[in-house]
Structure 1
Amino acid sequence: MREYLTRALERSGYAVSAVDRGTAAIPLLETEHFDLLLTDIVMPEMDGIELAQKAGEMVPDLRVMFITGFAAVTLKAGKTMPQARVLSKPFHLRDLVLEVDRMFELERVSDNI
């Protein structure tokens, strides 16, 4: 699934760094600049919510989008990080790209106010 998401976002003009677990993302967040953290919630070693919390401590203005197939986890994610977006599985790749576009469009609009 990671490869499909990566390709869809790259085809839409986004630069993507993809890893297979949250613990692998931490070193990247320490050394590179990211505008968005797109993470599944259920992952080995470190779940997506914990990853987002750690990432938020490192990069306070980082946008976060969670992907999940579990409704109960969606509620937990929304309470933990109310500004984050949640995309529920199953979804079409077009929906992913539209949601990412919206996250960046909202910032452009608020910067112009």
Structure 2
Amino acid sequence: MIEILLAEDDDSMRAYLTRALEKSGYAVTAVDRGTAAIPFLETKRFDLLLTDIVMPEMDGIELAQFCSELSPETQVMFITGFAAVVLRASQAQPRAKILSKPFHLKDLVAEVDGHFQKMANARA
């Protein structure tokens, strides 16, 4: 099963994203900030880090950089409601996908599905 670590500080958004991804067959570990994700990254392997960019304590870009150092095989996907941070994110993690809020949950699931399908096709 594909393992996703979700870091999103908005409680309702985190719950919606978790529910949508789990209904699509993904295993999701959800945390409310970047610093809360660190212990999970240190003890478990994830296929995808799905992180909001703007969060308290540690933003998503810092979290993605930490994740890349600790687990370079973990893919990164950003979600944000702030257009101004998209450029910074794309410079810091050029291979990461960036989804701008608002988006429909089916669009998120389609992006995640498509991402893992591309990876599977590349390995075949």
| TM tier, smaller | over 0.9
Distance in structure 1 (CA, Å) of the matches to 2:84 and 2:118: 27
Distance in structure 1 (CA, Å) of the matches to 2:40 and 2:29: 9
> Following superposition of structure 1 onto structure 2, how do residues 34-73 of structure 1 map, counting pairs within 5 Å?
34-73=46-85
2:93 to 63, 66, 81: 81
Unaligned runs of 5+ in 1: none
Unaligned runs of 5+ in 2: 1-12
* 4+ residue segments displaced more than 4 Å: none
- What TM-score comes out, normalization by structure 1 length? 0.97
Structure 2 residue 41 is matched with structure 1 residue 29: yes
Structure (1 or 2) with the greater strand fraction = 2
Distance in structure 2 (CA, Å) of the matches to 1:96 and 1:35: 16
CA RMSD, 1 decimal: 0.6
1:5 to 4, 7, 17: 17
2:111 to 90, 96, 99: 99
Distance in structure 1 (CA, Å) of the matches to 2:31 and 2:81: 19
Distance in structure 1 (CA, Å) of the matches to 2:76 and 2:104: 19
Q: Tell me the matched-pair count.
A: 112
Distance in structure 1 (CA, Å) of the matches to 2:105 and 2:113: 12
Structure 2 counterpart of 1:20, one-letter code: D
- What TM-score comes out, normalization by structure 2 length? 0.89
**1:42-66: CA deviations, max 9, x gaps?**
0000000000000110000111000
Structure 2 residue 19 is matched with structure 1 residue 19: no
